Amino acid sequence: MIKIVTVIGARPQIIKAAAITRVFRQQYAGQIEEIMVHTGQHYDQNMSQVFFDELEIPQEHYNLQVGSGSHAKQTAAIMVALEEVLLKEKPDYLLLYGDTNSTLAGAVVAAKMFIPIIHIEAGVRAENKTNPEELNRIVCDHYASLLFYYTDSALVYLKKEGFPLDNKAPFHINNPGVFLCGDIMYDNSLYFREKANRVSTTIASLGLTDKPFALATAHRDINTDKPERLLGLVQGFDAISKAFDLDFIIPLHPRTTKLLQSAENAEANAVLQANPKLHCIGPASYLDMVALESGATLILTDSGGVQREAYFFEKPCIILNEETPWPELLEHGSTLLGSTQPEQLLACAEQLMAVKDSLHYPPIFGDGKAAEFIVATIMESHG
Ligand code: UD1
Ligand code: UDP
């Protein structure tokens, strides 16, 4: 029996964990024991528990309840509490997803306890170390023993950063194994799409059944923490809504909601209030989000997950940033870098709306079986 401690904490990690835990339970019961540790980085019902319920994830064994805080406080609190759990559980591996502070904390603690790390979503780089996620994923990759990367662009970075790519077992922190796997988020999108469209009521509850709408999300610090950028974003949404007579569904991350309520963002808030076609709602559940993505005419987002899901559901997408850690999205004409300037956002929307029915979405994120490959590879590497 292999014992794996999985660390989750932020919304997308809970969603990612669903794909892997499904394979553990359905195909490796009796061979893998998974101990789930939720750091408590995200804690609101609609940022955490809703995903356990909807995505059929077993309830976590531990909740470290660290909550929100500065980068240092949050990361340190996770480290201290996680060390206790790892001392008690003595796992064969620590499994980490993505690039949040929960990922960083897990990587530092496990590496110093000589617990081999499995990193899923390795090699993602935006070539920008002012981005907190970039720092987190660089550390995690370099402390990992098994790295699973989604697309070829990651391999370029891993090569550049000196990872051995010959994959000669046994794998350990000084001789990591590096494997192309496809995107586990794509696994989930395929798995839950039919159910999402059957059960979700969000579109109908907004009176938008059979009406075209855009879906927009924004939560990156670079956008939320700079009033001029947040204002530019919502002015862009407003301009696109008016130019195309398009409703916008905007499931706001709590970070964005809180900042929009502050005095320095009063103008942005006023733009949202003034246009009845801009519908701000709370964070959507995963099934609601999948229904929104598959029903949208256009998606605007700064989310790493949502920009890829737009592609999975074959939707034109404007990235609300000057960069993306997923450069392959830009190669097929369906995804544009829109920044946060209203004029540029409108120009991107005009460009995409003109060609939206003739866009192509070649498969670049695997075959929907990434999780099966990952778990089989872990078993094989373990010997
Ligand atoms: C974090 C990740 C980011 C990821 C995002 C996914 C880091 C550094 N960032 O960003 O990579 O894309 O999660 O959503 O780890 N809040 C609540 N309720 C919650 C959670 C958060 O109100 O349940 C509010 C708090 O005011 C908090 C703020 O949101 O201070 C930011 O939360 P935090 O987890 O620090 O970062 P995210 O912006 O969510
Ligand atoms: N998501 C969700 N509800 C929302 C916004 C996003 O369920 O209101 C899902 C989305 O479909 C994707 C994941 O959360 O699967 C992406 O997470 P997020 O945007 O929080 O973070 P990122 O991917 O940027 O790290």
Q: Is the CB of 69 under 6 A from ligand 1?
A: no
pLDDT digits (tens, 9 = 90+) for 99-120: 999 999 999 999 999 999 999 9
Q: Is the CB of 154 under 6 A from ligand 2?
A: no
Q: Which bound ligand lies closest to the C-alpha atom of 121?
A: 2
The span from the first CA to the last CA of the chain, in angstroms, equals 12
Q: Cα dihedral sign for 369, 375, 381, 383?
A: negative
Domain annotation for the chain: domains and CATH numbers = 2-183+366-382 (3.40.50.2000), 191-358 (3.40.50.2000)
Residue 68 CA to ligand 1 centre (angstroms): 7
User: What amino acid is encoded at 261 in this protein?
Assistant: Q
pLDDT digits (tens, 9 = 90+) for 224-248: 999 999 999 999 999 999 999 999 9
Output the pLDDT for position 17.
98
Contact 109, 86 (CB under 8 A): yes
Categorize the per-residue pLDDT at 94 as very low, low, confident or very high, splitting at 50, 70 and 90.
very high
Mean pLDDT of 316-334: 97
The residues that bridge with 120 in the sheet, in sequence order, are: 97, 148
Output the pLDDT for position 103.
98
Residue 69 CA to ligand 1 centre (angstroms): 9
Categorize the per-residue pLDDT at 10 as very low, low, confident or very high, splitting at 50, 70 and 90.
very high
In ligand 2, which atom is closest to the CA atom of 290? Answer: 11
Residue 185 CA to ligand 2 centre (angstroms): 10
> CA 225, CA 245: separation in Å to the nearest integer?
29
Per-residue pLDDT at 383 exceeds 90: no
Interhelix angle 101-112/132-143, nearest 10 degrees: 30
Contact 335, 359 (CB under 8 A): no
User: Which residues have CB under 8 Å from 246's CB, separation 6+?
Assistant: 212, 213, 214, 240, 277, 297, 298
> CA 225, CA 219: separation in Å to the nearest integer?
9
**Residue 175: strand, helix, or coil:** strand
pTM: 0.98
> CA 168, CA 181: separation in Å to the nearest integer?
17
Per-residue pLDDT at 334 exceeds 80: yes
Q: Is the CB of 286 under 6 A from ligand 2?
A: yes
Active-site amino acid positions: 219
> CA 128, CA 99: separation in Å to the nearest integer?
14
Mean pLDDT of 183-205: 97
> CA 145, CA 168: separation in Å to the nearest integer?
12
